[in-house]
Structure 1
Amino acid sequence: MEEQRELLEAVGVVPLPPEQTEPAKAPKKAVSAFEKGVAALAQTRPARAL
């Protein structure tokens, strides 16, 4: 098993990080669907200079 791990690391395959023991916390303030969409769009599109 150790040899296989070394071979995989040699080609760039790394083990997954350990799983979270505690689930992610929900935001304390309710967020509207529109605000969620705006936040998602901001993550996928680069900011534009005006």
Structure 2
Amino acid sequence: MPAWMFYLAYGEGQFGSTATGIALGLIALVVGCIIFGVYSYRTYPMDRD
């Protein structure tokens, strides 16, 4: 296991890893929603009929 993964999991106590995980999860969720919204906006007129 890489050292940075070990640091994220067992770094500055449990709060640090939890906050890092929540932040990364929220960022991934926002990016996913943006990509899905752009994809839906671009493909919507073609499948309207």
TM over 0.5: no
TM bucket, shorter chain: 0.3 to 0.5
Q: TM-score, normalised by structure 1?
A: 0.33
Q: Which has the higher helix share?
A: 2
Q: Which has the larger radius of gyration?
A: 1
